[in-house]
Amino acid sequence: MALSACSGGGAVGGTNASSGAKSTTLTIAVNSAPASFDPSRADNGNGLYPMQLAYEPLIRQTGSATYSPGLASSWRYLGEGNTRFQLTIRSGVKFSDGSPVTAQAVADSINYFTTGFGPTTGNLAGVKVTASGADTVTLTSKTANPEFPLLLSQNFLAGDIISPAGLKAKSSLTSKPSGAGPYVLDSGATVSGEHYTFTANPAYYDKSSVHYKKVVIKVIADQTAELSALQTGQVDLMFGSAQQMPTAKSAGLTVTNTGPTQWNGVFLLDREGTKTKALASPQVRQALNYAVDRSGIAKAVYGALGSATDQPTTKGFDEYVPSLANYYTYDPAKAKQLLAQAGYPNGFSTSLTYTSFDPQTKQMVQAIAQQWAAIGVKVKLVSSASYPAMSTNMYRAGALSVAWNGQPMFLQVGVLWSAKGGLNPYHATDASFLSEFAQASKASQSQLAAQMADVAAVSVKQAYTVPVVQIDTVVFSHGVNGIPSQLPGAHLNVVELHP
C-alpha cells in the first residue's frame, strides 16, 4: 500500500543546523507512529522512514522507474511472461548483528514476507523464492509480475531483508528491526509512539552514504505543532500543507514542491454489498462520483497544492489516462437519476472511516459527506487516529479515505482490488477486470504502460473509487539537502538526505 506522506516533529537535529555548523543529527517529523518494524507488517506511508534506516533493500529506487543496486548487485527477468526474476546478491555484506547476508537469507526473508498481513504483501501473493549457490536468488510467480524491481525496492518493503536471527524471533520484529541498513534502532533512546532514535550502523557496507551519526523520527500529530517545532529548531524536516506555506516561507524555511505525488478521495471497499448492499451496484458507485464537486473541494481544502481528478492515481504513472481527466463531472441530478435506476430513489446509508491525523483528509470527507447527503446518501464518518486504527476500522466500514501515493497499476490492483489485497477487507473481486489485468501483466516493458492504461480505464468506469483531488507534496526543511524536486509516489528516501 502506498499511503500518505508524513508530517510531524522531532528533537535535537535542528540546533546545529541553525548555528551554521553541519548537524550530525537529523530529526524527521511524522504525524503517526509506524505500525511495525517487521517488513511484512509495516506500512509504506510514515512506516517507510524507520524501515529505510534499519533495512537495506535489494534494489534502490532512485526515480519513478529508475533503479540502482542495493543488496542485489544485478537483476533480470528470465524468459517471457514476467513470471521469473533473478537477482545476484552482493558479496561481503553483513546484517547489523554481524551475520552474513547470503542468498539463502534473502530467499528466507522474502518467503516470510509473502506470509505477512502488511499492505504491500499482496503484491507478492503466490511468489516462491529459492536460492542457488552463494549469490543467486530466483523469484517465481504463478502469475505475471512486471514490477519485481519496484517491489524489492525501499518503497515496497519486500526487499527489506531480515536477518536469520530476526526470522527466528519474529514476534520481536514489531518493535526491534533486524536488517542490514545504514542505521540501527537505539532502544534506550526510543519511546514507542513518541520518538524513535537510530544511530549509524558500524557494520554497514557503504559508509559513504551514511550522512548523519543519528536520525530521530518523532511523532507529532498536529500540523501546527509540527511547524512550530521546525521554526524553533527542534526538527529539521516535515511534510507541510498549502495553508502552512506562507508561514514557512516567511520563517525562512526551505519549501520544496515535489509535484503531484498523491491523490485523495474515497475507496469504496464494500463493492459486493456485504454490509452496504447498495455499493455492489456500479450505478450507485457512479452516482457517488457524480455527486462530488471535485474542483470546489480541491481548492477549499488543498489550495494551490490540489487539483481535481477522476482517477485513482497521479500523472506520470502508467494507469493515468488523459482522456478520462473529466469523466465524472459534478452533476447531482445525474447522481440522483442513477440512484433511482439502481433501486435507491431515497438513497441509502453507509459508513466511511478516514485518517483523522491528516487534517486535509478530515476536511475533505466532511465536504464529501455533505454533498452525498444532498442526493440522499447518509454517511457515518468514523475517525482513525493512526494507520493501525484505520486497518481495524476498515473491516467495519463501507468506504475509506486516506491519501494515496501514485503508483503503477500492477501495484494498485494487488493492494486494492485483488482478493487478498491489503485494502480489500471484504475480498471483493471482479472476474472480468482481473482477467484483463492478468493479460496486461504479461506484456513486455515496451507495451506494459498502454495495456495497463486500458485496465485503469475499467476501474474508473466501474467506479471502484471516488477520486477527488490530486495533491502536490511540499516539504518544509532547514539545513537539509538532498530533497528531490520530484518524488516517485511521494516516497522520500531519508537515507539520501544530508547536511
Question: Which range of residues forms the domain containing residue 132?
Answer: 13-238+478-496
Q: Residue 44 and residue 214: Cα distance in Å, rounded?
A: 22
User: What sections of 197-326 are H helices per DSSP?
Assistant: 223-231, 245-250, 282-290, 294-297
Number of C-beta neighbours around residue 324 at 10 A: 16
Residue 1 lies in a domain: no
Residue 255 lies in a domain: no
Q: Residue 420 and residue 408: Cα distance in Å, rounded?
A: 18
Structure confidence by residue, pLDDT tens digits, 343-375: 999 999 999 999 998 999 999 999 999 999 999
At 490 the pLDDT is 64
C-alpha distances in angstroms, 241 versus 30, 144, 156, 390, 419? 13, 39, 25, 22, 35
The per-residue DSSP string of 450-463 comes to HHHHHHHHHHHHTT
Name residue 474's beta-bridge partners: 257
Residue 368 lies in a domain: yes
- Asked whether residue 270 falls in the same domain as residue 232, the answer is no
Q: Are 300 and 367 in contact, with CB atoms under 8 Å apart? A: yes
- Asked whether residue 289 falls in the same domain as residue 405, the answer is yes
At 486 the pLDDT is 79
Residue 245 lies in a domain: no
At 343 the pLDDT is 98
C-alpha distances in angstroms, 248 versus 21, 115, 223, 476? 22, 43, 12, 7
Low-confidence ranges of the chain (pLDDT < 50): 1-20
Q: Residue 426 and residue 43: Cα distance in Å, rounded?
A: 20
Q: Which of 359, 405, 421, 351 is nearest to 385 (CA)?
A: 359
At 406 the pLDDT is 85
Residue 25 lies in a domain: yes
Q: Residue 273 and residue 458: Cα distance in Å, rounded?
A: 20
Q: Residue 42 and residue 100: Cα distance in Å, rounded?
A: 24
Q: Residue 418 and residue 414: Cα distance in Å, rounded?
A: 5
Number of C-beta neighbours around residue 396 at 10 A: 12
Query: For the chain, how many structural domains are there in total?
Result: 2
Query: Per 3-state DSSP, what percentage of the chain is helix, strand, and coil (rounded to 5)?
Result: 35, 25, 45
At 216 the pLDDT is 98
Q: Residue 468 and residue 293: Cα distance in Å, rounded?
A: 8
Residue 89 lies in a domain: yes
Structure confidence by residue, pLDDT tens digits, 121-176: 878 888 999 999 999 999 999 999 999 999 999 989 999 999 999 999 999 999 99
- Asked whether residue 490 falls in the same domain as residue 465, the answer is no
- Amino acid sitting at position 225: A
- Asked whether residue 461 falls in the same domain as residue 489, the answer is no
At 421 the pLDDT is 85
At 63 the pLDDT is 65
CATH number of the domain encompassing residue 124: 3.40.190.10
Residue 338 lies in a domain: yes
Separation of CA 195 from chain center: 21
Q: Residue 251 and residue 22: Cα distance in Å, rounded?
A: 20
DSSP state of 431: H
| 243-256 b/e (C-beta count within 10 Å ≥ 16 → b) | bbbeebeebebeeb
CATH number of the domain encompassing residue 402: 3.10.105.10
Report CA dihedral (204, 50, 419, 143) to the nearest 10 degrees: -20
Q: Residue 52 and residue 48: Cα distance in Å, rounded?
A: 6
Q: pTM above 0.85?
A: no
Structure confidence by residue, pLDDT tens digits, 399-455: 999 999 888 899 899 889 999 888 999 999 999 999 999 999 999 888 998 999 999
- Asked whether residue 94 falls in the same domain as residue 209, the answer is yes
- Asked whether residue 305 falls in the same domain as residue 352, the answer is yes
- Amino acid sitting at position 274: T
Residue 276 lies in a domain: yes
